Amino acid sequence: MDFDAKAKKKKAKQAEKLKRKQLSDAKVTDIYPVDGITSEGYLKISYGSHHVLAEVFDIKKYDLEKLPLEKANAIEDAATRLFGEYQGSIKEIFRNFPERNKQQQGYFRRLMTRTNDLTRLSWIEDQINILVYLEQTYSKLGSWQLIYGDSVQELEANIKKLEKYKEIFGFYPVNVSDKALLFKLINNPGGLINGEKETE
């Protein structure tokens, strides 16, 4: 049996093209099964006939290599206890997330209104332009944790179980607009969330 490199390469290209086509035609539930957001701000997730709710948390990030040994050990011990005690599912998502610096831009815009010095105004305008450019082009790796529950009551009970680990891990709830953006980015291409219409 002869090996035909050209045929194999052509077959691989066709498979890749088909995969890209399937992704571009995908809907939310094909990639990550988010159906929408409840009035409480929880994600509605469906897979098959099963429906669950989830809350997204931003967590504290640590570089264990740079921490003192005692602090690093305390964090690792807390993580071990958390995953030993908490019996529910926790999913961690890693994703590049756009730069958010509207507050800094607002600060510089307020400074602009308080000065008449042309040199200072020019410097402030440069700073605003830098921030706008960063917001449009820069993204950094972030991580979030999802906590699940079959009902609002179960989800809130699961969230309450994490309270004692808040000091170490943070578990900061993510606002609705950031959740929508996060899952829009995850589900891209073709990812729609919360009833958005696809634009051509």
Provide the residue ranges of all domains of the chain, joining segments of one domain with +: 29-94+142-193, 100-137
Please determine, for residue 178, whether its predicted confidence score (pLDDT) is greater than 60. Answer: yes
Using one digit for the tens of pLDDT, what is the confidence trace for 98-147? 777 788 888 988 988 888 888 888 998 999 888 888 887 777 777 888 88
E strands, the chain, in order:
34-37, 43-47, 50-58, 90-98, 139-149, 172-173
User: Whole-model pTM?
Assistant: 0.61
- The whole-number pLDDT of residue 96 equals 73
Q: Which residue has the higher pLDDT, 44 or 196?
A: 44
Query: Of 56, 93, 89, 61, which is closest to residue 187 (Cα–Cα)?
Result: 93
Using one digit for the tens of pLDDT, what is the confidence trace for 19-52? 777 666 655 455 677 778 888 888 888 877 788 8
Distance CA 111, CA 122 (A): 12
- The whole-number pLDDT of residue 24 equals 61
Secondary structure of the chain: what % helix, strand, coil (to 5)?
Answer: 50, 20, 30
Please determine, for residue 169, whether its predicted confidence score (pLDDT) is greater than 50. Answer: yes
- The whole-number pLDDT of residue 27 equals 56
Domain 29-94+142-193 in CATH 3.30.70? The answer is yes
Angle, CA 174 vertex, CA 164 and CA 146 arms, to 5°: 65
Q: Angle 118-137/102-113 helices, nearest 10 degrees?
A: 170
The mean pLDDT value for 84-110 works out to 83
